């Protein structure tokens, strides 16, 4: 069984877009794609975890019931899609997680850091999650990329702590689900969804999932809401490289993800934890 997380955010949230749109009108549009995403999951008899940017629940409170009534789970992706290693974010995050608790009636038990920004300067996050009764985190990318990554981290789920981000800490209270990676030409690269799903040939992604399955390790996969509903995603003028990472093959993401969930079994994070007696 593999894990599917939907990073539910709007067109102005991705880090490479945020940098270029100060002052622009930020009216959410992608948020209106929720019914299409839920229909697609229902047709494929698949449950997923929605890592939601909190301000979207303020804009559209019915999101919560729609997600939960579909049998899916809600998890936290910060209130405004802020990198958690931003200066002085720790105090703000403590307020944000309490606000998200209120907005979701304490239904959220998991977290994903925007742009996988969990690293040695933001390891306080794990303590804050434990203090707030969270069960799991999925912010570790066990590969080195230009924007993020903890290359020496374990590739199978483990107990993480603020003093042990990379390896199992038996006293850790939070289960970490590292994102799927693969080896290509001697390098370890992400193979876990998002840009990699759009950029890498589908065969490489499928091979990565199969390799994990052979080892009995779940493949932790993610996709952005705006990749599933590209028709609601406006095209913002960006530098060439930023534009490539954000929009390359955006029209192919849904069909590629659809073919993966037909070939492999995916489920939501809390369901996986209870079915596999991880606690
Ligand atoms: Zn995100």
How many A from CA of 55 to the centre of ligand 1? 13
How many A from CA of 116 to the centre of ligand 1? 8
The mean-pLDDT minimum among 16-25, 42-51, 148-157, 234-243 falls in 16-25
Q: Is the pLDDT of residue 278 over 80?
A: no
How many A from CA of 74 to the centre of ligand 1? 14
How many A from CA of 148 to the centre of ligand 1? 13
Q: 6 with 51: CB under 8 angstroms? A: yes
- Please compute the mean of the pLDDT values over residues 51-56 and round it to a whole number: 97
pLDDT tens for each residue of 239-248: 888 888 888 8
- Please compute the mean of the pLDDT values over residues 89-118 and round it to a whole number: 97
pLDDT on residue 279: 63
Q: Which domains does the chain have, with CATH numbers?
A: 2-275 (3.20.20.370)
What's the whole-model pTM score?
Answer: 0.95
- Please compute the mean of the pLDDT values over residues 169-175 and round it to a whole number: 96
How many A from CA of 187 to the centre of ligand 1? 25
How many A from CA of 190 to the centre of ligand 1? 15
Beta bridge partners, 224, equal 7
The mean-pLDDT minimum among 22-26, 179-183, 189-193, 269-273 falls in 22-26
* Structure token digits, residue 28: 């959410």
How many A from CA of 98 to the centre of ligand 1? 19
User: What burial letters (b/e) apply to 166-195, b meaning 16+ CB within 10 Å?
Assistant: beebeebbbbbbbbbbbeeeeebbbbbbbb
How many A from CA of 81 to the centre of ligand 1? 6
């Amino acid at each position: 069984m593999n894990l599917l997380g939907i990073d539910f955010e709007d067109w102005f949230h991705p880090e490479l877009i945020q940098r270029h749109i100060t002052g622009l009108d930020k009216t959410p549009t992608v948020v209106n794609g929720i019914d299409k995403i839920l229909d697609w999951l229902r047709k494929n008899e698949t449950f997923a975890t929605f890592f939601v940017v909190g301000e979207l629940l303020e804009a559209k409170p019915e999101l919560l019931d729609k997600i939960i009534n579909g049998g899916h789970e809600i998890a936290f992706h910060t209130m405004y899609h802020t990198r958690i290693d931003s200066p002085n974010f720790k105090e703000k995050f403590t307020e944000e997680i309490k606000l998200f608790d209120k907005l979701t009636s304490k239904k959220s038990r998991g977290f994903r850091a925007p742009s996988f920004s969990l690293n040695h300067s933001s390891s306080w996050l794990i303590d804050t999650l434990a203090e707030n009764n969270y069960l799991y985190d999925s912010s570790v990318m066990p590969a080195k990329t230009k924007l993020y990554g903890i290359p020496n981290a374990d590739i199978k789920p483990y107990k993480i702590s603020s003093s042990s981000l990379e390896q199992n800490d038996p006293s850790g209270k939070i289960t970490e689900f590292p994102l799927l990676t693969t080896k290509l030409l001697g390098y370890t690269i992400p193979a876990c969804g998002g840009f990699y799903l759009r950029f890498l040939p589908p065969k490489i992604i499928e091979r990565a999932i199969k390799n994990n399955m052979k080892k009995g390790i779940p493949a932790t996969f993610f996709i952005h809401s705006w990749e599933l509903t590209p028709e609601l995603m406006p095209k913002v003028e960006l530098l060439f490289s930023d534009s490539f990472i954000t929009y390359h093959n955006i029209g192919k993401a849904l069909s590629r993800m659809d073919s993966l969930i037909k070939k492999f079994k995916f489920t939501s994070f809390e369901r996986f934890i209870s079915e596999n007696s991880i606690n």
